[in-house]
Structures are given as structure tokens and as C-alpha cells.
Amino acid sequence: MLYNTLGKTGLEVSRLGFGTMRLPTKGSNENIDETEASAMLAYGIENGINIIDTAYPYHSKELDGNGNSEKFVGKFLKENDLRDEILLQTKSPSWLMEKRTDFDYYLDIQLEKLQTDYIDIYLLHSLTVPDWTKVNDLGVLDFLDDCLSSGKVRHVGFSSHIEVDYLIEILDEYPKWEVALTQMNYLDEYYQSGVMGLNYLKEVNVGSMIMEPLRGGRLVNNIPQDVQQLWDMAEVKRTPVEWAFQYLWNRDDVDCVLSGMTSMEQVKQNIEIASREDIISDYDQEIIREVARSYRTRLGNNCTRCGYCMPCPHGVDIINCLTEYNIAHMMDDPKASAMQYFTLMDDDSRADSCVQCGECIPFCTQMLDIPEELVKVHEYFGSEFDHF
């Protein structure tokens, strides 16, 4: 495993962090397969991963509910006597805060779930511009000051999908930020805070963590033929997963890449890649840019399947509507996607069930106009009779 210094925290972190939002499950999202997940975490730690990332809602029944990921991680660390060996990162559910005391209330619940009396890195989770305004007005910075002086939290930061101007505004507001978690992969250099955000984090020496390194799996699954042809032209042959990770680890403004791993196979594969120095040549960097250009021309929309917009109060399966539309574009095979769209999704969950109420829009981490995207989906797939 290779390690980086996490900005001004001074912590040496493995450049691959273990994300625990997609642990293996049995039957439902809240039911973690603890035997398999424990084996994965144990293997990861034995092979050099020293940071575990979790959050209040991961592996809950409802997306913003009280999830089981923190409980599982706490139990695993306790049973294996690993708490002090590992950097534990979790996140405050900013969207649930209504008054100043709520911050302490949720932190105490999290400490109990994690079976610890301190958190190494505590992030305000998925800050949107309205959430930041709200928590700032409620006194979140005073709360963070208290956490740091009491020792309940050792380093503070935030995760966000916002644009670079807002990222800088938040960073400039509080000199004690030490970590920021933003989205980056070779398709997203100029999306959300992108490379400009990473440059600024480096300038102010705030530790830079990355989410969505594989863009919801899009960069590694169903590789289009013309993309594969580009990869085949590279000086060094790499798998799609290697390209995605090594692109990030070749940047000097990326300290740690979080990967939400679902299987032991992924853990082993990612660790093997993270343990190997692989300098990408200028020629191969140009191949990456060509691949990004090729993908960009194909995307139907920028949905990453994060699920924050769900559930729709009118029953629309937003994620799968947008995904089938995207796959149809990327694979250039509308018929195959239409088959999935009409056979795997109920009448009531398809795009034409959207009543355009707009309630989902503020929750979209990718700032999509979801109802407008759903109109496109419906127009694209048409009625069932157009295809069968």
C-alpha cells in the first residue's frame, strides 16, 4: 500500500480508503452480510488500508435514516481490537439538523454506534448550498469548535457535490477545516468543484478525499467498443479500474480515494492497484482525455445512481429511468435498454408517471433537473408499442 499525507491533518493515510456504503448484504440494504463484510475489512486492514469511511445513514432502510454501517464498523473494530489502529471517518447528517443541540445529539448517537469515544475525522455530510446556510445559521462552527476542544473529534471537514465557488466560500469561512471530500474522476474534471476545487484544497493545505472514482461503475462496466479501442492504443495496458484509480493517484492534489467495496474480489483488486506505483506517461494521459471526450458525447445525463432523490412521492423509479436512458446512449443500443425499461419496471415507476412536482430537484447531488430529464426518458423510449 502507498500512503499520502492528508493535508494539514499531518495524518499518513492509505491512498485507498475503505468506504462502507456498499457492503455486501443479505436480501435488503439494511441487512449487512457481517461475515463477508468482516472478512473484507480484515483483509483490507491486513493489506495496508488504514482509513474507514462511514456515515449515519449508510445501510439504512430509508436513504436518510439511521443506518447499520456505523454499527457494523463499530462492532468490527471493537471485536478485533482495532479502534486505535484505524483512522475512523464518519459524517454528520446535516439535513436532519433543526437546532444547535441536534449536532451534539447525532454525534453522541454516532459515538455509541461506533463504540468509541472519539472520531478521527468528522465530516458534515453532503453539504448543499441550502444545507450549509442552514447549519451555519444554527451554529455548526461553534459545535465543531466544541468537538475539537472536547476531543470527541480530532479533525473536521465536509463532503459536498457543490460548484467550486461555493466550495471556496465554505473553505474560507472556517480556518479549522482539515479535510474535504469531493467527486472526481477523469470524466468530472470540470464538473461540480472538479480540478479547480482540488487545486484550491491543495493551495490551502486541506486534505483531499475523493468519492465516485469509478463514477457509479460507469467507467468500468460495459466499456463501449470505441473506448476500448482507445485503451488498446495506450503505451501501458491497464484495466478500466486501473485507469480510473491510477488517473487519480497520478494527481498531486489527491490524498485519498474512497471506494465503496461490495465484494472480496473488489477489495483484493483495488488493493493490488493501490499498492503499485504507476506513472502515467503524457501519451497515456492524452488517451485518458480522448476516452473522456468519447464518453461525454454519449452520456444521456449525469446521474451517478447515488439515490439521494429517492423515494419519489409519486412512485417514479428515478434512478432506473435515468440509468436505462444512460445505458441506451452509452451502448448505443436503445432496444436492449427499452426491453429492460419496459420489462423490469412497473407501469407506475416509469418516467411518464412523473407529475413534474419538482420535489426531488433539491436532493439531486448532480444538480439535474430530474423532471426535465424524465421527459427526455419518456420521449426516448416512447410507448411500449414502439418497441414490441
Q: What are phi and psi of 76, to 5 degrees?
A: -60, -45
Looking at the Cβ atoms of 131 and 284, the one nearer to ligand SF4 is 131
Which is nearer to ligand SF4, 141 or 310 (by Cβ)?
A: 310
Complex with ligand SF4: residue 71 or 218, whichever CB lies closer: 218
User: Could you list the residues that contact ligand SF4 (CB under 6 A)?
Assistant: 303-309, 312-314, 316, 318-319, 322, 354-360, 363-366, 368, 370-371, 374
3-state SS class at 226 = helix
Q: Is 88 helix (H, G, I), strand (E, B) or coil?
A: strand
* Cβ closest to ligand SF4, residue 103 vs residue 295: 295
| Cell 469548535 sits on residue | 145
- Minimum Å gap between C-beta 270 and ligand SF4 is 23
- Report the nearest approach of ligand SF4 to the CB of residue 364 (Å): 3
Nearest distance, CB of residue 231 and ligand SF4, angstroms: 26
- Of 114 and 318, CB closest to ligand SF4: 318
Nearer to ligand SF4, 74 or 371 (CB): 371
Name the grid cell of 174.
472556517
Amino acid at 245: F
User: What are the cell numbers at 39?
Assistant: 472478512
Least distance CB 152 / ligand SF4 (angstroms): 31
Mark 328-363 as b/e (b = at least 16 C-beta within 10 Å): bbbeeebeebbeebbeebeeebbbbbbeeeeebeeb
Q: Given the complex with ligand SF4, which of 256 and 370 has the nearer CB atom?
A: 370
d(CA 70, CA 113): 6
Q: How many CB atoms lie within 10 A of CB 181?
A: 25
Tell me how far apart the alpha carbons of residues 162 and 365 are, in angstroms, rounded to a whole number: 8
Query: Alpha carbon of 115 to those of 245, 246, 265: distances in Å?
Result: 32, 35, 29
Q: In angstroms, what is the minimal distance from the CB of 256 to ligand SF4?
A: 23
**Between 226 and 369, whose beta carbon lies closer to ligand SF4?**
369
Q: Which residues pair with 211 in a beta bridge?
A: 183
What lies within 8 Å, CB to CB, of 263 at 6+ separation is 24, 36, 40
Query: For residues 48 and 50, what is the distance between their CA atoms, to the nearest angstrom?
Result: 6
**Closest distance to ligand SF4 from the beta carbon of 311 (Å):** 9
Question: Least CB distance from residue 38 to ligand SF4, whole Å?
Answer: 29
Least distance between ligand SF4 and beta carbon 58 (Å): 15
Taking the least distance from each CB to ligand SF4, the nearer of 180 and 309 is 309
- Spatial neighbors of 188 by CB under 8 A, at least 6 apart, are 194, 212, 215
**Smallest separation (angstroms) from ligand SF4 to the CB of 385:** 24
Half-sphere exposure of 159 (CA within 13 A, CB side): 24
Instruction: Provide the CB-side half-sphere exposure for 180 (13 A, CA).
Output: 33
Rounded to a whole number of angstroms, the minimum distance from the CB of residue 191 to ligand SF4 is: 12
Amino acid letter for position 253: D
Alpha carbons 53 and 255: distance in angstroms, whole number: 14
Taking residue 42's Cβ as centre, other Cβ atoms within 10 Å add up to: 14
Residue 311 or 382: which CB sits closer to ligand SF4? 311
